[in-house]
């Protein structure tokens, strides 16, 4: 689309290795920028049309997959690609640049991984458009672009309690750990099942494989029980042992689910589901040690 552009770019060929696309888009949106941001990578390109909306339209072309979409929901895929693959960013200003071509909407295709939402309320998380109006950011887009992308954010309060310091290995708030664990497994379950795989059978197999080393994972012992986003555990081991065992079981589950040509998309879908829980329960995940395992579990970056 750049070849048809009549505007001279404000910035051209910015390296995605150094420029954080999410922070850049958020900064431009909060300034009321009208125009287009073009991202180019190998076998992939995308245009983000900024016209004052907090949920901009994205024209996405995946040449490797042979798909073309025009939708708000494509923003999260674009942000993940920009984080994980090298590419360039160019910024064009003007109302003409911000005007998406309406006829492209008829060409929009939904990737197989992004299954239509079911009646379960958790589908609304992945299907909901990503908004850019989340929090304050530096007036300098180049500086702001160094911040970590935040696809989903919890509302911030004006007063935050002082952090409680837990010495390494001393955090044993099991009700909080298990509640968070249940939500985390539920997010992974939703992402895996949406890809067409059977989470329950894969997770059970992974637990059986690890039962000799971690007896509480043995599904036949009923010490650790998971179902419908709720986890319970009788006679908890040390927190670090629980974290090691659970993260390995979930890693193996995702490894078996993310196979074939769709492996990358499946991992990205699961990572997006996990991200919601990661932002909601960052304190518990950090103190328990699960936070450090999230990228390893998903096989791609989560935060």
**Assigned domain for 168 exists:** no
Helix (H) or strand (E) holding 62: strand 57-62
Beta bridge partners of residue 48, listed in sequence order: 37, 58
Lowest mean pLDDT among 72-86, 218-232, 260-274: 72-86
Q: How far apart are CA 7 and CA 38, in angstroms?
A: 13
pLDDT in tens, 41-51: 988 999 999 88
Please name which of 151, 153, 150, 132 lies closest in space to residue 49, comparing C-alpha atoms.
132
Q: Based on the structure, what is the number of domains in the chain?
A: 2
How large is the greatest C-alpha to C-alpha distance in the chain, in angstroms? 68
Residues 12 and 119 in one domain: yes
Alpha helical stretches, state H, 31-173: 74-84, 95-98, 123-127, 141-144
Residues 123 and 9 in one domain: yes
Examine the pLDDT at 202 and tell me if it is beyond 60. yes
**Assigned domain for 169 exists:** no
Asked whether the beta carbons of 83 and 120 are under 8 A apart, the reply is no
**Assigned domain for 163 exists:** no
Asked whether the beta carbons of 60 and 74 are under 8 A apart, the reply is yes
Residues 193 and 129 in one domain: no
Backbone CA torsion sign across 94, 95, 96, 101: positive
Q: Pull the structure tokens for residue 133.
A: 């109006």
Which residue is it, tokens 């552009």? 5
Domain interval for residue 204: 174-298
pLDDT in tens, 146-190: 333 333 333 333 344 434 444 434 567 899 999 999 999 999 999
Q: How far apart are CA 270 and CA 77, in angstroms?
A: 12
Model-level pTM?
A: 0.48
How confident is the model over 207-233, as a mean pLDDT?
A: 91
């Amino acid at each position: 689309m750049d070849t048809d552009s009549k505007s001279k770019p404000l910035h051209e060929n910015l390296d995605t290795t150094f420029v954080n696309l999410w922070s850049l888009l958020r900064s431009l949106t909060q300034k009321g920028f009208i125009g287009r941001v073009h991202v180019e990578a190998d076998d992939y390109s995308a245009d983000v049309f900024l016209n004052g909306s907090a949920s901009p339209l994205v024209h996405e072309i995946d040449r490797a997959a042979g798909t073309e979409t025009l939708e708000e929901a494509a923003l999260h895929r674009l942000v993940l690609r920009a984080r994980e693959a090298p590419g360039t960013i160019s910024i064009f200003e003007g109302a003409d640049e911000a005007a998406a071509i309406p006829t492209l909407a008829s060409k929009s295709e939904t990737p197989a991984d992004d299954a239509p939402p079911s009646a379960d309320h958790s589908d609304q998380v992945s299907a909901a458009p990503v908004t850019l109006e989340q929090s304050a950011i530096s007036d300098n887009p180049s500086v702001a672009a160094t911040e970590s992308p935040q696809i989903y954010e919890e509302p911030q309060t004006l007063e935050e309690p002082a952090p409680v310091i837990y010495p390494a290995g001393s955090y044993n708030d099991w009700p909080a750990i298990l509640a968070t664990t249940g939500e985390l497994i539920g997010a992974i379950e939703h992402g895996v099942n949406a890809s067409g795989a059977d989470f329950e059978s894969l997770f059970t197999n992974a637990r059986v494989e690890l039962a000799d080393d971690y007896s509480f994972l043995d599904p036949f012992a009923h010490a650790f029980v998971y179902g419908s986003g709720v986890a319970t555990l009788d006679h908890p081991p040390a927190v670090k042992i629980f974290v090691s065992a659970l993260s390995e079981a979930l890693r193996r589950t995702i490894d078996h689910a993310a196979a074939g040509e769709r492996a990358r998309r499946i991992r990205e879908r699961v990572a997006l589901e996990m991200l919601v829980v990661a932002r909601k329960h960052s304190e518990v995940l950090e103190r328990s040690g699960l936070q450090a395992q999230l990228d390893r579990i998903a096989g791609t970056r989560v935060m």
